[in-house]
A and B are shown apart, each in its own frame.
Chain A
Amino acid sequence: MTEDANAIGRAELAACLHRITLGEHAALELLYKQTSAKLFGICKRILSDHLAAEDVLQEVFLLVWNKANQFDASRGLSPITWLAAIARNRSLDRLRGRGRAFAPLEAAAEVADARPLSDAHLESQERDQRLQDCLAGLDVRAAECIRAAFFGGQTYQSLAERANMPLGSMKSLIRRGLTRLKLCLEP
């Protein structure tokens, strides 16, 4: 995605979603042009399988076409985050439907190193930075597992098996991590 596409503002995407609720097909096409690469990246990250990711991407846009009216800016989510959350949920559903695929933990961990988006997202960048800092302050295994769960659709059982830890220890590790993360993010 180019810098231009990254700089697409929140208001512009929200306007696009509004036009979609009115049945404007051109708005759907515009939204697709502006967000499909980002959303496809998310589907691919979670699903690995290329064809499954294509299917889910299609599903996401059909859903948006029919349910754009469910976007509610008042929830505090930006339009792109709302769309990204739909792509993640649908991808996780697909993953669960066909049994779990085990993406390597490293695949999730590398997210932390991803280049930030354009300056247009300064505010969200600051928030992301805080999240990165807070994750970095956790037990390294807890942070890795939290990221792996977020992107991998893993269960405690699968995380415990991968880390070669007893189930109970994995649960305490993550629950402690979440409690510390909350304190760091919203003290």
Chain B
Amino acid sequence: MNEDDLNALAGEYVLGLLEGLALDEAQALRATDAGFNAAIAMWERQLLPLLEQVAPIAAPPEVWARIEARTRKRAARAGWLGKFRWRIGFAATGLAVAALAGIMIVPPLLQNQGRQIATLTSTTGGVFIVRERANSLRIIPENVSLPMGKVAELWRILPNRAPQPAGLFTPGQALATSLPGSGVGLELAVSLEPAGGSPTGLPTGPILAEAKITNY
């Protein structure tokens, strides 16, 4: 393809004129041809400012109300994590701290399952090891200490969503949870809850450990 053709194709692409086979071809070029991508960037730089000349129209107030309702949830959740993330002093407050029964000796079989992708340090001592295998995660507690009568509960948090309960840790056992899509953005958190787990369906106790999957 000569340069003029490549430029014209890039222009058609940015204008949104391509469909079907032509669109497939352009997308294939995008993945392989630096010249094509440069031509697309040129057209975007030149044409997109046309958008700035469109006359503004005030949006009805309901739109912001809806956006706020959908985004405040995440802001509130961020606050929740922020509130407890730094409660490192928890273990030293004089509460009776007992090792989670069984001291979490991970069976060798479990250790060999999947790739270890993270080690979350618990604020009360011990670690949660995260292993990934076949689109699922296994979270294995090791030497995690808990106050008497309390349990550690796992939560999974997807971007812009409320935390979802993902099981209570029991002695010597890993918890499994699925990896959504690419997995990127998924947050895991472990909170300290009364026996039987959180009564509200949302975390009520301090966070023992948390991690966010940014890449894997």
Chain A interface (Cβ < 8 Å from any Cβ of B)? 1, 23, 25, 28-29, 32, 36-38, 40-42, 44-45, 54, 57-58, 61-62, 65-66, 75-77, 80-81, 84-85, 87-88, 92, 111, 114, 116-117, 121, 124, 127-128, 131, 146-147, 149-151, 153-156, 159, 174-175, 178-179, 181-182, 185-186
Contacts and interface: CB of A to CB of B under 8 A. Distances in A.
A182 B7 contact: yes
Given A76-B45, A150-B15, 11 more contacts: A29-B68, A36-B58, A41-B55, A45-B54, A81-B48, A84-B54, A88-B48, A88-B51, A131-B46, A146-B15, A182-B42
Main secondary structure of the interface of A (DSSP, over half): helix
B11 A181 contact: yes
A37 B59 contact: yes
Interface of B: 4, 7-8, 11-12, 15-17, 19, 41-42, 44-60, 62-64, 66-68, 70-72, 74-75, 78, 159-160
B49 A42 contact: no
Nearest to B19: A155
Nearest to B14: A150
A41 B49 contact: no
B7 A179 contact: yes
A149 to B, nearest CB: 4
Nearest to B59: A40
A28 B68 CA distance: 9
Nearest to B15: A149
B53 A153 contact: no
Main secondary structure of the interface of B (DSSP, over half): helix
A37 B57 contact: yes
A175 B75 CA distance: 48
Contacts of B41: 75-76
Given A37-B56, A114-B53, A117-B52, A58 B63 contact: yes
B62 to A, nearest CB: 7
A128 B45 CA distance: 10
Contact of A117 (B12, B16, B53, B70): B53
Contacts of A114: 53-55
23 contacts: A25-B71, A29-B64, A32-B67, A37-B56, A37-B59, A42-B51, A54-B59, A54-B62, A57-B59, A58-B63, A58-B66, A61-B71, A65-B71, A66-B160, A128-B53, A154-B16, A154-B17, A174-B15, A178-B7, A178-B12, A179-B7, A185-B42, A186-B46
